[in-house]
Amino acid sequence: MSSDNHHSALTELGAELLEQSDVKVTRCYQCGKCTAGCPLAGEMDYPPSLVMRMLQTGRPELEEKVLRSFTIWVCLTCEMCFARCPMSIDIPKMMDQLRQKSLLEKKTNRKAKEIIAFHKSFLDSIRYTGRLYEIGLLADYKTRTLKILDDMDLALPMMKRGKLGIFPEMIKDRSGMASIFRKTNKKHKD
């Protein structure tokens, strides 16, 4: 538990999330709208509303499960849940904080290793080409998505419909983008 009086009702992790992402887990009343709207809920070990519930309990073993979950790496930060949440809980930002903490504490999910490596490999590739601006573009919107969906034919239409929120100029150049992903994927496998 946090010793900070201001966060006295929250666990240490709950207090951290409040401080870093302005998410107060106790505000969630389990309506389930986030999970219903999450395009990746089916790929997750715990859908977003369950993550909220697990964090609300304040039970260390459940917090540990969240930090070790696949969910936090599958999340695309697409903000669908945030848009639907009646309590305006910024789940995407919270997921970001959970990812950072998971990395810092070396608790990353085994299944997520590829996603993390792929992500890093992609960043390296962008750095190498000097196209720094695109780090934010693609690294964040998410190379790992394509890895998870493992199917450009599925991922690209999702992007076109705005589901994955990638910038339009990147969508137009489908072959160029496919080639970037092929190269980074190959680099990761080598």
Give the one residue of 32, 152, 163, 171 binding ligand SF4; rule: CB under 6 A: 32
CB 82 within 8 A of CB 90: yes
77 touching ligand SF4, by CB under 6 A? yes
Nearer to ligand SF4, 86 or 176 (CB): 86
Between 23 and 126, name the residue whose CB sits nearer to ligand SF4: 23
Piece in contact with ligand SF4 (CB under 6 A), picked from 7-15, 77-85, 117-125, 177-185 = 77-85
Give the shortest CB-184-to-ligand SF4 separation in angstroms: 21
Choices 31-39, 111-119, 127-135, 141-149 (CB under 6 A): range interacting with ligand SF4 = 31-39
What is the rounded distance in angstroms from the CA atom of residue 81 to the CA atom of residue 36?
Answer: 8
The only residue of 17, 75, 138, 164 in contact with ligand SF4, by rule CB under 6 A? 75
Size of the residue set binding ligand SF4 (CB under 6 A):
28
| Residue corresponding to tokens 């996603």 | 115
Closest residue by Cα to residue 122 from 189, 183, 175:
183
Closest CA to 55 of 10, 22, 99: 10
Q: Could you say which DSSP state residue 109 is in?
A: -
Does 33 interact with ligand SF4 (rule: CB under 6 A)?
A: yes
Q: Which residue in 17, 18, 67, 91 binds ligand SF4 (CB under 6 A)?
A: 91
Residue 10 DSSP one-character state: S
Cα separation, 160 vs 10, whole angstroms: 40
Q: Count of residues for the chain?
A: 190
Q: Which residues contact 146 (CB under 8 A, 6 or more apart)?
A: 152, 155, 181
Q: Please, which of residues 38-57 interact with ligand SF4 by CB under 6 A?
A: 38, 40, 48-49, 52
Nearer residue to ligand SF4 within complex by CB, 51 or 177: 51
Using the Cα atoms of residue 189, residue 115, residue 180 and residue 128 in order, give the sign of their dihedral.
negative
Please report, as ranges, the residues that interact with ligand SF4 according to CB under 6 A: 28-34, 37-38, 40, 48-49, 52, 75-81, 84-87, 89, 91-92, 95
